[in-house]
Amino acid sequence: MTPKLFHIFRNTPLGRETLLQSLYFCKTVGCTPEIYIPESTRFLMYFENDVTQVDLDGSYLTIPETGRAHAEALAEKSGLKAGFLVPKNFTAHGLPDIPTYFDFMCCPRSISDLSSKIGLGHIGPRVRRIVQAARFPVLITSSVFKAWNSITVFFGGSQNAFNALRLGLRIARQSGKPLNMFTQVEKGDADHYRQMVSDVDLMADWERYGNEWQFFEEGNLEDNLFNVDHDALLILGAYGHGLIKDIMFGSKMERIQGTMPNNLLLVGPKYTAVKG
């Protein structure tokens, strides 16, 4: 079955850029875009152990009568045939229920704040909640469309880092793009991290699909991030800490996403790796 990427379409120039990024991702990795054109600013997503209410800003309802035609035209120009999701179920409060069977989901850095108010280092709380609960990775796009020509996995040895590496190997295999790894060494040396990858039987795949593994034993993380390709898709493991009002990512994750303008593919703690 062809993987599907879920995309909430905003019928504005900024929304066009985000959709172009989704379409590029789909074409590169062999996905089908599943596009939702909202008719209200709120909907629910039912995850295994969580229900997330997504609150969109009013720009998502811009000129709804032309939304589908614009989305179809962009997909056709990209050589793709998009599916369009129409909610079938609603809560007692009339909120649409959006399924969560997708393989990927695309979000801007925030889906509940006006884009003019969103800085590079801010990922909105609703997007964080989705990353925390979803079994699928979440694609966080750059503000304007930019093709990615390589993949960089950030690997620090955590469980989510292994999931990020598995996903990176999968994306490299499907896309044919070169795969790199970035490690800020915190304990041991480069051989220590290589052994960790070998211990989970991923070294053979890395040697087959990997290009370059950069180890940084000196300097701070922000300085070393300058060595990451500007046109790379960044794959990171994100893990949550259960705060009442928000979901916080790990400290390195926060520093990376707050520094890098690249497209990000976030692997949350509930992510289930797909074989093959």
Model pLDDT, residue 255: 84
Q: pTM of this prediction?
A: 0.91
Model pLDDT, residue 91: 84
**Cα–Cα distance measured from residue 90 to residue 174, given in angstroms and rounded to the nearest whole number:** 36
Model pLDDT, residue 163: 94
Q: Find out whether 153 and 165 touch, Cβ atoms under 8 Å.
A: yes
The tens digit of pLDDT for each residue in 221-257 reads 999 999 999 999 999 998 644 443 344 455 777 788 8
pLDDT interval class at 159 (50, 70, 90): confident
**Exposure on the CB side of residue 110, measured as CA atoms within 13 A:** 16
Task: Set out the domains of the chain in order of their start, with CATH numbers.
Answer: 4-140 (3.40.50), 150-267 (3.40.50.620)
How does strand 264-267 pair with strand 138-140? Answer: antiparallel
Model pLDDT, residue 253: 75
Mean pLDDT of the chain: 88
pLDDT over 70 (residue 99): yes
Model pLDDT, residue 113: 55
H or E segment and range at residue 169 = helix 159-175
Exposed/middle/buried for residue 148 (C-beta within 10 Å: 0-12, 13-18, 19+): buried
Largest CA distance in the chain: 58
pLDDT over 90 (residue 110): no
Please give the backbone phi and psi of residue 209, each rounded to the nearest 5 degrees, phi first.
-110, -15
The tens digit of pLDDT for each residue in 29-47 reads 999 999 999 999 999 999 8
Could you tell me what percent of the chain has a pLDDT over 70? 90
**Cα–Cα distance measured from residue 180 to residue 166, given in angstroms and rounded to the nearest whole number:** 13
Q: What average pLDDT does the segment 170-197 reach?
A: 95
Reduce the DSSP state of residue 19 to 3 states and report it.
Answer: helix
What separation, in Å, do the N-terminal and C-terminal C-alpha atoms of the chain show? 12
Q: Find out whether 76 and 70 touch, Cβ atoms under 8 Å.
A: no
The tens digit of pLDDT for each residue in 60-95 reads 999 999 999 999 999 999 999 999 999 998 986 789
